[in-house]
Amino acid sequence: MKFTAKQIAETLHGTVEGNENAEVNSISKIEEGKPGSISFLANPKYTHFIYDTDATIVIVNNSFEGTHPIKATLVRVENAENAFAMLLEMYNQVKLAKSGISKLSFISESADIGNDIYAGEFAVIADNAKIGNNVKIYPQVYVGENVVIGDNTTLFAGVKIYSDCVIGSDCIIHSGTVIGSDGFRFALQDGGKKIPQIGNVLIEDNVEIGSNCSIDRATFGSTILRKGVKLDNLVHIAHNVEINEKSYLAAQNVVAGSTKIGKNCMFSGQVGIIDHLEIADNTLIAAQSGVSKSIKTPGTAQMGSPSMDVMKYRKNYIHFRNFEAIVNRIEELEKQQSKPESGG
């Protein structure tokens, strides 16, 4: 799909400087601009690229003043970065605007299907599933028995949703993620006998889950992701965990069973949290931290393994870096004390 500089300027409430009929059909970085693409300039560090870029159209701030000739058509706006973000969102909506049901998909006769859904090749919607309006189900997605999916949710290729799970509206679940697999529970005193997992996973509205995540079903009850939760790629959420509103977990986080995470928490990559803990609202946890005790004071920051208050960790780390010198000093003092006293 092609757009002219004039159309883009009207959409972004900007003005055109150059050829208003210049057309673009792709997006590029300004330093990698190519004919037929649109880019933007917001950071002054990249200003020199605008004079040589092959991008056909460049979005710039109204305040931008060139010092050399520019071959690209300019679209001037109040804030180039915000305008480009708006353009990216519009581009993504057009790109992902899929519709129709493939003849190679399978939809059970007992499934309840909403309006304007997309179901790609080899997608499966099982018995008694309920699918809302404008849901996009990409190829090779499996939606199990009795699953409920709200309006405007997107399931990218290869997502698997086991039976009885509930997904809210306006959610995005990326490729390879599995929702509703069994929790990891075995009766060790009974020879490792598997404990049946008969609960489900409940995901509320506006949740986004990255690729290759695993959200385990509850032993009974629900594993819950509340509204606005965001999970990065390769995150594992165990059985009966509850993550409250607008908490963010970066890649390779692991949250063990029955732990409760508060609202507005932010965990960096590779954080591990053991089972049955409580993490207070607004908690920050640094990368590669191991959390072994509940964090009950809201708004604290922790790091390390085992994790501790970030200021305490940094003070202790200074001692750790000096540990070799401290040991050497102690050894030298011991040597001096062990020397025999000289006679008078």
Which residues are known to be catalytic?
239
What is the distance between the alpha carbons of residues 102 and 105, in angstroms, rounded to a whole number? 5
Contact 133/115 with Cβ under 8 angstroms?
Answer: yes
Q: Is 276 exposed, middle or buried (0-12, 13-18, 19+ CB in 10 A)?
A: exposed
Residue 34 sits at the vertex; the CA angle it makes with 33 and 37, to the nearest 5 degrees, is: 85
Terminal alpha carbon distance of the chain: 100
**What count of other Cβ atoms lies within 10 Å of the Cβ of residue 327?**
10
Residue 69: cis peptide before it, omega within 30 degrees of 0: no
For residue 84, what are its two tokens?
A: 């480009």
